Homo-oligomer: A and B are copies of this chain.
């Protein structure tokens, strides 16, 4: 058994059964091994940003890592932007990156690059296998590293000769680190904040945004009068009817400052002291008031369920009923095809147990509030601000959850970065309904340009924000990649298309002119 096969068998033994791949020559031994070993589903992406974004979406929904298979430094480079998002989401991913044979690297062949250097900025763990006999053990360590709480990007670099030489067979799984519990003292301190009688924010993020911990957080809020809130960008929120509804901190700095101005104290669980997305001249970086007493009770890697349980007990809040959202959908919209009408249509029609993937940037803001009372669903967001994750994220989520409808809310500018994901959706026949908000602009940048003082931008600047001339035709692009698609120019047409897509299997794309 060669090193590649020992690695594939080790990954499977470690619980990894899905590999998003864009392989090249250096990875051919790994690919060949896939034929000899059963138990690994391999999903091809036609660009590495699709591969890494899909691995993120998969792990967010499957709660276990996928592997990626990438081709040397440049292939990993193409994956970096979405690995950045995964890193910010606390998503576990195991990257397998082929490299030149150890004997070949010193000759500076065309594809030679500093693969470890490319990996390091977005990886919590980086290792290069030195020989075929250590590959299996390295693979087991990579999985354990990826599973380090809250979830990490681990990158294992596999020189071609470590894949093709004879190994000692697969390695056993390595137990990952456990998430640490917070101290009793910290719990008591948080309880004191929450009992202070002053306006207090209970900010929860990360895995605390799942249904069960959110119920605990809601009990605490009910008991103490604290305001429960989530960060602006979150990997996954379990929400909808029968679940705890939670507001998020606003993205625009001015609105966020206003929103958080009332709070004298803040207890933070599973996220960091909230920070503005960007800095602006004369505006603070931290969005809680400077006078607010902030306690980060639990980092994302702490045991968040345990933290909330103990805090609940400390406060005697177990007897409180969590505030659960009643089921309520908006009426089907009529009239103009506005952003609110699109939001209402989605909220009115989205199937139960759907997965909503939001990279709608400026266009989809109304969908989050409109879907608050829709049937229970998951809400996945862009976590690292690196646009171009929506279509891959939806792809990976659909691979993880083959019995659930995925609805991708996709801005057009962001969608263009990784549109190749549509092909993977078609090949894998994934149940993804994509709504493209075709405003034909980097609309958020237009706002930002005016924010920086260019109140009357000229043509050169405006050309950099404008996606028209020519207009993108998403229907043709989707069809070109084998995904059925149509444009909705009226609300009625949008409703028909949504109904049609939700009623049958496979991917579908709807372009809306907003």
Q: Which residues of A contact B (CB under 8 A)?
A: 21, 23-26, 28-29, 31-32, 34-35, 40, 42, 44, 46-47, 49, 72-75, 77-78, 80-81, 84-85, 88, 100-101, 103-104, 107-111, 113-114, 117-118, 120-122, 160-161, 164, 233, 272-273, 275-279, 281, 285-286, 383-386, 388, 413, 416-417, 419-420, 423, 426-427, 444-445, 448-449, 451-454, 457-461, 463-465, 467, 469-477, 479-482
What are 11 A-B residue pairs whose CB atoms fall within 8 Å in the complex?
Answer: A25-B445, A31-B464, A32-B454, A42-B460, A77-B84, A77-B121, A104-B275, A109-B276, A111-B277, A427-B469, A472-B480
Q: Which of B35, B44, B121, B122 contacts A458 (CB 8 A)?
A: B35
Is the CB–CB distance between B460 and A35 below 8 Å?
yes
Contact residues in B for A472 (Cβ distance below 8 Å): 423, 480-482
The 3 closest A-B pairs by CB, nearest first: A470-B482, A77-B80, A74-B386
- Cα separation A506 to B190 with both chains bound (whole Å): 65
Is the CB–CB distance between A84 and B113 below 8 Å?
yes
Is the CB–CB distance between B423 and A470 below 8 Å?
yes
| A233 and chain B: residue at smallest CB distance | B110
Is the CB–CB distance between A426 and B470 below 8 Å?
yes
Is the CB–CB distance between A470 and B427 below 8 Å?
yes
Q: Which of A81, A233, A467, A473 has the most CB of B within 10 A?
A: A81
Is the CB–CB distance between B417 and A461 below 8 Å?
no
Q: Which of B103, B164, B452 contacts A452 (CB 8 A)?
A: B164
Contact residues in B for A273 (Cβ distance below 8 Å): 107
Q: Which of B32, B74, B161 contacts A453 (CB 8 A)?
A: B32
- Cα separation A445 to B75 with both chains bound (whole Å): 15
Q: Which of B110, B117, B233 contacts A120 (CB 8 A)?
A: B117
Contact residues in B for A473 (Cβ distance below 8 Å): 479-482
Contact residues in B for A46 (Cβ distance below 8 Å): 413, 416-417, 467
